[in-house]
């Protein structure tokens, strides 16, 4: 495939080019997909999602049999994706009543659902307790609320404590979470005090400790450091409780390749290094291996996603740049504006033509910052061409907005020459559905 940067890993497994030089996804030409489902369109590749799930589950089955992989729902959440990852044996972590409701309506078994959040509402905590969903406790005030709730309602709570690991993950400042000034998690020096509050409580089961150091992480060093730290705290807490903790959750964060300059360690290598390091820590003190929970989001769905746009006008500013305008932009993908995120893209109906021209790709929204990329080499573009942006499966759909009262695009799953709608395109009526006069 000749596209702007022909790198394996960026494209979904099910991407190819047909005899007419048109990109196909899951065996369907992008022309056909747009004709059927309109533009812009989020396309998710079944084969890639399954492959990514299996990188985790198969590696762990070999090196750390006592494990559970939960998909971080915030990366891409709807019933379709949850049912797919459930088929692959994954659970889901959720951070709001809306995400929890979606999980409860999906095929993910309740024991594989985790509720996160640094500011869970009373209603969210009650919902989790009523459905026996495990809660990852972020701070002492939340613990006190849970203690009150279980006492008032006679319910049982299964909890984990989220620790602030203070480990440097080399990633964008906005997506770091484990550092000292992070809003997430319990200070390590407070941990044992909180453990004592629940130690003999008949209605609370402390399952284990949780931590998450950040997102889009490329190498294993911070994870090995995390494994040591979390094992150390797990051992201390187990001693305090007089029983081994059941679980240890090391969060998500493994990075993916968006462009040729990204070089993440392969998932099986990352996961096995981490699992071995964890086992060593427990073997050294003769403690049985607690269930290892991982919470990948981006690395499950990121590379599976391709956004298809249709080119409208092309505006040349002589001597400066040529803008090509697409029919989406910041409302369906805020990441370039929020994190200076870079993507690989191609002219999907000219996928074998050399990328000989330079363009800036701008969206359709009334905001100067609505530019998907300031510079990309593409095949010569005409109005009506289809631009495919790769690697949009994570944090695009879930971070989409209705800015400029734009209906959100549909999302379809493709594979084996079939497309299945996961989420319908919003209609103009959807946009005024909740308005009252
Ligand atoms: N677990 C917890 C507690 C998290 O906060 C996150 C992500 C994950 C797991 C999954 O991390 P992943 O495997 O996807 O890296 N909107 C940003 C990413 C924010 C990540 C927030 N937490 C972006 O578009 O890059």
Mean pLDDT of 153-172: 89
Please, which pLDDT band fits residue 175 given cuts at 50, 70 and 90? low
Residue 210 Cβ contacting ligand 1 at under 6 Å: no
List pLDDT tens digits, range 290-311. 999 999 999 999 999 999 999 9
Q: How far apart are alpha carbons 213 and 211 in whole angstroms?
A: 7
For residue 6, pLDDT beyond 60: no
pLDDT recorded at residue 325: 98
The answer to whether the beta carbons of residues 74 and 51 sit under 8 Å apart is no
Q: How far apart are alpha carbons 60 and 291 in whole angstroms?
A: 11
Residue 75 Cβ contacting ligand 1 at under 6 Å: yes
Residue 252 Cβ contacting ligand 1 at under 6 Å: yes
Q: Among 113, 164, 297, 393, which is best to mutate for testing ligand 1, by the most ligand atoms less than 8 A from CB?
A: 297
CATH code, domain with 388: 2.40.37.10
- Comparing CA positions, the residue from 330, 310, 311 lying closest to residue 403 is 330
Return the CA Rg of the chain. Answer: 23
Structure tokens at 336: 């370039």
325 & 288 share domain: no
List pLDDT tens digits, range 250-289. 999 999 999 999 999 999 999 999 999 999 999 999 999 9
In a domain, 54, yes or no: no
The residue among 296, 330, 353 that closes a domain is 296
Q: How far is the CA of 386 from the centre of ligand 1 (A)?
A: 30
The per-residue pLDDT of the chain, averaged, comes to 95
Question: Ligand 1 atom 8: the closest Cα is on which residue?
Answer: 252
Alpha helix (H) residue ranges in 27-184: 30-37, 46-63, 79-87, 97-105, 122-130, 140-153
195 & 172 share domain: yes
Which residues, at least 6 apart from 316, have a Cβ–Cβ distance to it below 8 Å? Answer: 322, 323
Is 346 annotated in the active site? Answer: no
The answer to whether the beta carbons of residues 183 and 225 sit under 8 Å apart is no
| CB-based burial, 310-333: b 16+ in 10 Å, e otherwise | bbeeeeeeeeeeebbbbbbbbbbb
**How many independent structural domains does the chain possess?**
2
Residue 40 Cβ contacting ligand 1 at under 6 Å: no
241 & 335 share domain: no
260 & 395 share domain: no
In a domain, 94, yes or no: no
182 & 289 share domain: yes
Question: Ligand 1 atom 16: the closest Cα is on which residue?
Answer: 395
- Comparing CA positions, the residue from 198, 211, 278 lying closest to residue 241 is 198
For residue 369, pLDDT beyond 50: yes
In a domain, 156, yes or no: yes
Helix-strand-coil split of the chain, %, nearest 5: 35, 25, 40
Peptide bond into 3 cis (omega under 30): no
Residue 72 Cβ contacting ligand 1 at under 6 Å: yes
375 & 314 share domain: yes
**Which atom of ligand 1 sits closest to the CA of residue 75?**
14
Please, which pLDDT band fits residue 1 given cuts at 50, 70 and 90? very low
Write down the pTM of the prediction.
0.96
List pLDDT tens digits, range 84-107. 999 999 999 999 999 999 999 999
In a domain, 84, yes or no: no
216 & 332 share domain: no
Q: How far is the CA of 296 from the centre of ligand 1 (A)?
A: 8
The residue among 254, 275, 296 that closes a domain is 296
Percent of the chain with pLDDT over 90: 94
148 & 11 share domain: no
The answer to whether the beta carbons of residues 140 and 190 sit under 8 Å apart is yes
Q: How far apart are alpha carbons 70 and 291 in whole angstroms?
A: 12
In a domain, 105, yes or no: no
For residue 33, pLDDT beyond 80: yes
In a domain, 209, yes or no: yes
251 & 120 share domain: yes
Please, which pLDDT band fits residue 417 given cuts at 50, 70 and 90? very high
53, 76, 346, 366: the active-site residue? 366
Q: How far is the CA of 263 from the centre of ligand 1 (A)?
A: 18
Q: How far is the CA of 197 from the centre of ligand 1 (A)?
A: 30
271 & 123 share domain: yes
The residue among 296, 331, 351 that closes a domain is 296
In a domain, 83, yes or no: no
Range of the domain at 38: 2-45+304-432
- Structure-derived torsion over alpha carbons of residues 337, 341, 344, 349, reported in degrees to the nearest 10: -20
pLDDT recorded at residue 181: 76
Structure tokens at 40: 């812009």
Q: Among 77, 135, 248, 253, which is best to mutate for testing ligand 1, by the most ligand atoms less than 8 A from CB?
A: 253
**Which atom of ligand 1 sits closest to the CA of residue 335?**
24
**In Å, what is the CA distance from 430 to each residue of 36, 130, 291, 405, 433?**
20, 32, 44, 10, 5
283 & 352 share domain: no
Q: How far is the CA of 214 from the centre of ligand 1 (A)?
A: 7
For residue 123, pLDDT beyond 70: yes
338 & 201 share domain: no
In a domain, 109, yes or no: no
CATH code, domain with 236: 3.20.20.10
Q: How far is the CA of 341 from the centre of ligand 1 (A)?
A: 15
For residue 113, pLDDT beyond 50: yes
Between vectors from CA 229 to CA 225 and to CA 233, what angle results, nearest 5°? Answer: 170
């Amino acid at each position: 495939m000749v596209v702007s940067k022909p790198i394996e890993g960026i494209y979904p497994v099910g991407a190819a080019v047909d005899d007419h030089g048109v990109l196909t996804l899951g065996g369907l030409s992008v022309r056909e997909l747009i004709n059927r489902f309109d533009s812009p369109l989020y396309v998710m590749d079944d084969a890639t999602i399954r492959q990514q799930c299996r990188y985790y589950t198969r590696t762990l089955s070999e090196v750390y049999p006592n494990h559970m992989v939960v998909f971080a729902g915030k990366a891409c959440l709807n019933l379709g994706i949850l049912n797919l990852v459930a088929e692959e044996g994954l659970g889901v972590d959720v951070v709001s009543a809306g995400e929890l409701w979606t999980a409860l309506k999906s095929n993910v078994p309740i024991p594989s659902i985790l509720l996160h959040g640094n500011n869970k509402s009373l209603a969210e905590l009650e919902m989790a307790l009523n459905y026996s969903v495990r809660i990852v406790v972020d701070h002492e005030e939340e613990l006190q609320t849970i203690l009150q709730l279980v006492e008032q309602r006679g319910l049982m709570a299964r909890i984990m404590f989220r620790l602030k690991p203070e480990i440097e993950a080399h990633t964008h400042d906005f997506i770091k979470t484990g550092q000292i000034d992070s809003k997430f998690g319990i200070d390590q020096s407070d941990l044992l005090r909180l453990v004592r509050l629940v130690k003999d409580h008949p209605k609370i089961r402390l399952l284990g400790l949780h931590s998450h150091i950040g997102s889009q992480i490329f190498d294993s060093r911070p994870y090995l450091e995390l494994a040591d730290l979390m094992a150390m705290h797990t051992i201390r807490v187990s001693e305090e409780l007089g029983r081994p903790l059941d679980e240890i959750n090391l969060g998500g964060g493994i990075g993916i390749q968006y462009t040729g300059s990204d070089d993440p360690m392969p998932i099986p290598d990352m996961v096995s290094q981490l699992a071995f390091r964890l086992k060593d820590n427990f073997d050294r003190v003769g403690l049985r291996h607690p269930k290892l929970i991982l919470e990948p989001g981006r690395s499950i769905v990121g590379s599976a996603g391709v956004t298809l746009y249709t080119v409208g006008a092309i505006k040349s500013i002589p001597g400066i740049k040529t803008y090509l305008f697409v029919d989406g932009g910041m409302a369906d993908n805020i990441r370039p504006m929020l994190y200076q995120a870079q993507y690989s893209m191609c002219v999907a109906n000219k996928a074998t033509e050399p990328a000989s021209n330079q363009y800036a790709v701008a969206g359709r929204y009334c905001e100067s910052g609505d530019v998907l990329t300031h510079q990309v080499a593409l095949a010569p573009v005409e109005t009506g061409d289809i631009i495919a942006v790769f690697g949009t499966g994570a944090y695009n759909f879930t971070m989409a907005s209705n800015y400029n009262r734009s209906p959100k695009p549909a999302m379809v799953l493709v594979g084996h020459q079939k497309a299945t709608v996961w989420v319908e395109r919003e209609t103009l009526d959807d946009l005024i559905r909740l308005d009252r006069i």
